[in-house]
Amino acid sequence: MEELTRRNGDVFFKDFELLNMKIPDYKARASTVMDQTATLVKTLAERGYAYWHTHDGAKNAYFDPLKFEGFGKLAKLDMRKWPKKKRRFHKDTYPGTPWNRGDFILWHGCKEGEVCWETEIGRGRPAWNIQDAAMVTEHLGYQIDVACGGIDNLVRHHDYTIAIAEGVSDKKIANYWLHGAHLLVDGKKMSKSQGNVHYPSDLMAKGFRNDHVRFFLIYRHYRKKLNFTFKKLAETTQRLNTFKGMVQNLRKAKSANSSEKAKRLADSLILSFNENMNNDLDVKAAFGELYETVTKLNGLIKEQRLRAEDANAAITNLRRVDSVIKVIF
Please spell the DSSP secondary structure of 262-325, one letter per residue.
HHHHHHHHHHHHHHHHTTT--HHHHHHHHHHHHHHHHHHHHTT---HHHHHHHHHHHHHHHHHH
Closest CA to 87 of 70, 107, 62: 62
Instruction: Report the pLDDT value the prediction gives residue 2, as an integer from 0 to 100.
Output: 84
Model pLDDT, residue 266 = 97
Profile the chain (329 residues) by mean pLDDT over runs of 10 residues: 90 94 93 97 98 97 98 96 95 89 97 94 97 98 97 96 98 97 95 91 96 98 97 98 98 89 97 98 98 97 94 98 98
DSSP state of 22: P
Distance separating alpha carbons of residues 135 and 19, to the nearest angstrom: 24
- Dist. CA 108–CA 116, nearest whole Å: 9
**279 CB-near residues (< 8 Å, 6+ apart):** 285
Name the nearest CA neighbour of 126 among 2, 29, 37: 37
Centre a 10 Å sphere on the Cβ of residue 176 and count the other Cβ atoms it contains.
10
Question: DSSP label at 153?
Answer: G
Sketch out the chain's domains with CATH numbers: 33-180 (3.40.50.620), 190-325 (1.10.730.10)
Q: What is the DSSP letter of 246?
A: H
Distance CA 183, CA 180 (A): 9
Residue 72: predicted pLDDT: 97
| 119 neighbors 37 (Cβ within 8 angstroms) | yes
Say which residues have a Cβ less than 8 Å from residue 226's Cβ, sequence separation at least 6.
181, 182, 183, 184, 217, 220
Residue 307 Cα distances to 209, 211, 241, 300, 301, angstroms: 32, 29, 24, 9, 8
The one-character DSSP state at 25 is S
Write down the pLDDT at residue 257: 83
